[in-house]
Amino acid sequence: MKAINKEVPSIMLLIIACLVMIPNAFSQENQSVIKITRISELENYADSYIKGEVIKILDVDKFRFEDSSGNIKVYTGWKNTNLVKKNEKITIRGKLDPGIVKEFYATEIIMENGEIIKLKIDD
């Protein structure tokens, strides 16, 4: 009976370690496979990730974003408002719309802490 009591704390520590490490492993794995595209190299309508900094809030659902290659207006959609702040460093998934004014239509925002915000689609 004493042998079982000595093993229980070891097993509990192992379980706790696994529970702590598994979520981190998944988030690090997902972020390691993301291919970042420079703003200057975005292709029209191609699903892309861009990484950089919010440099100006334009409206509740629009902001200006920059990386080392340039900057672009980002649209999050009218159902997704006030998600970022000026000077925040984030990664954005979306598509370049080459209209009269180039605009990046965001579908997902990955915050610096790893939190992923899936954006709601405009109807």
Place of tokens 């009976």: 1
What are the two backbone dihedrals, phi and then psi, of residue 112, each rounded to the nearest 5 degrees? -60, -30
User: Alpha helices of 1-123 — where are they, by DSSP H?
Assistant: 2-32
Q: Which residues contact 12 (CB under 8 A, 6 or more apart)?
A: none
Residues 41-83 have pLDDT tens digits of 999 999 999 999 999 999 999 999 999 999 999 999 999 999 9
Query: Mind listing the pLDDT tens digit for each residue in 3-14?
Result: 555 665 666 656
Token digits for 109? 């925002």
Alpha-carbon gap, residue 78 to 100, rounded angstroms = 20
pLDDT of the residue at 52:
98
